[in-house]
Amino acid sequence: MAAPTRYLAGDGASSSIACLSLCLVVLDEGRRKRRRSSEEERSRRSGRDAVGSEAEQEAERKCEDMLSVARRPLSAAVPVGNLLGIHLFQCPDTVGIVARLSECIASRGGNIHSVDFTYNPMLWPRDVLRTDFLNLSQHFSAQRSTVRVPDLDPKYKISVLASKQEIPLFSHACALLFTFSQDHCLFDLLYRWQEGRLPVDINCVISNHDRLKDNHVRRFLERHGIPYHYLPTSPGNKREQEILELVQGTDFVVLARYMQILSEGFLKAYGKDIINIHHGLLPSFKGGNPSRQAFNAGVKLIGATSHFVTPELDAGPIIEQMVERVSHRDTLQSFVVKSENLEKQCLAEAIKSYCELRVLPYELKKTVVF
């Protein structure tokens, strides 16, 4: 079933742009209907009271559907013999952009589904596909025209920077409440990578805090052949040159609670995107201890923010945000626990969206997320 493509145009007073992202989102409705019919038939045969269990069964079905969609690769619904293509296109706003792009895909036998397209590689070889979109980008003076075919293209190579500092939290009376580590984002990322739920290859993990060899993260990395680099930092030496050498050849870098500020010189030298997770709902509560800041402010919503790294602290374009409600009954410890759960989900979703070409920065601090 075809649906309108997503389109954004800026106003004429500013540097207007048009953004088009083509992505595939198709659910196997037939399979779901067959499963439901089968469940209903079994229920009738067994004489089960459908009224009493209807809500429970529906909740279970929804949970299964959500897990199925979450684990399903992008190309799961692509017809046999076809491939999924993703095209991210940014150009000055003008009449006919969507029409020309649609015509290009249709003329090669491709088909747009929702906001992606599928095509037959025998009818539209990859080099011809690249040339066709290149010609369109030149015609519309595009600032960006990126095409990916997930089943053919190599996975993104990333490096992960992560701290592991035992952070104490004190009460106002300076009594130690508890300490918490910062490995939750790193380990969640590694687990999702192992499960094949993130389209990336991890080049290495870099940390400014050491971990014992029998640490669960070290054991995981050693088991999967992922290099681990311990680079202790100090106020006068951030080890940025060494980090830069280690991340060369990667497509982007992920900061999984890396509690160091990267200099503007490092960002320019690396020259590619860096994605950070902040355990607060930006633009509020920037900097350190955002959970304590939020707790002291008496907020009713806490959150996590994944954003691009820029020279200004915690001010880069936002990719993803997630929130959870809190109340006066929550303690500082429960704030931290809830925040950690949000951080893991928020970072993973940001990485997934970025790899699927669903994130387009514009106007310095804004993003379009398709």
- Domains, the chain: 6-24+78-148 (3.30.70), 29-75 (no CATH), 156-369 (3.40.50.170)
How far from each other are the two terminal CA atoms of the chain, in whole angstroms?
19
Q: Which helix (H) or strand (E) holds 20?
A: strand 17-22
Angle at 154 between CA 367 and CA 28, to 5 degrees: 70
Taking the C-alpha atoms of residue 189 and residue 257, their distance in angstroms, rounded to an integer, is: 12
157 Cβ contact partners less than 8 Å away, ≥ 6 residues apart = 200, 201, 203, 249, 250, 251
Q: Exposure pattern of 321-344 as b/e (b: 16+ CB <10 Å)?
A: bbeeebeeebebeebbebbbebbb
Give the pLDDT of the chain (370 residues) as one tens digit per residue: 333 333 333 333 334 455 555 533 222 334 344 455 555 555 555 444 444 455 555 555 554 444 444 444 454 567 788 888 998 889 998 999 989 999 999 999 998 876 678 899 999 999 999 999 999 999 999 998 999 988 889 999 999 999 875 544 444 444 444 444 578 899 999 999 999 999 999 999 999 988 888 888 899 999 999 999 999 999 889 999 999 999 999 999 999 989 889 999 999 999 999 999 998 888 888 887 888 888 889 999 999 999 999 999 889 999 999 999 999 999 988 888 899 999 999 999 999 999 999 998 888 889 989 8
Distance between CA atoms of 271 and 253, rounded to whole angstroms?
Answer: 11
pLDDT for 42 equals 53
Other beta carbons within 10 Å of 252: 19
Q: At what angle do helices 332-355 and 184-194 cross, to 10 degrees?
A: 40
CA–CA separation, 288 and 294 (whole Å): 11
39 close to 56: Cβ distance less than 8 angstroms: no
Output the CA–CA distances (angstroms, integers) from residue 97 to 137, 144, 215, 362, in the order listed.
10, 14, 53, 18
CA angle 73, 75, 81 (to 5 degrees): 145
SS3 207: strand
Contact 323, 301 (CB under 8 A): yes
**What are the residues facing 237 on neighbouring strands?**
234
Please give the pLDDT value at position 351: 97
Query: In whole angstroms, what is the distance from residue 102 CA to residue 97 CA?
Result: 9
Beta bridge pairs of residue 4: none
Please answer whether residues 139 and 28 qualify as being in contact, where contact means their C-beta atoms are separated by less than 8 angstroms: no
Residues near 26 by Cβ (< 8 Å), separated by ≥ 6? 1, 77, 113, 114
Q: Please give the backbone phi and psi of residue 180, each rounded to the nearest 5 degrees, phi first.
A: -140, 145
pTM over 0.85: no
Residue holding tokens 């992960």? 160
Can you name the residues that pair with 315 across neighbouring β-strands? Answer: none
How far apart (Å, rounded) are the C-alpha atoms in residues 9 and 17? 5
Q: 282 and 305 in contact (C-beta within 8 Å)?
A: yes
Alpha-carbon distance of 72 to 189, in angstroms, equals: 18
Catalytic annotation present for 314: yes
Farthest CA pair distance, the chain: 74
pLDDT at position 78, please?
75
Instruction: Given the residues 210, 214, 314, 330, select the one marked as catalytic.
Output: 314
Which of 105-110's residues contact partners 24+ apart within 8 Å by CB, and which partners? 105/22, 108/132, 110/85
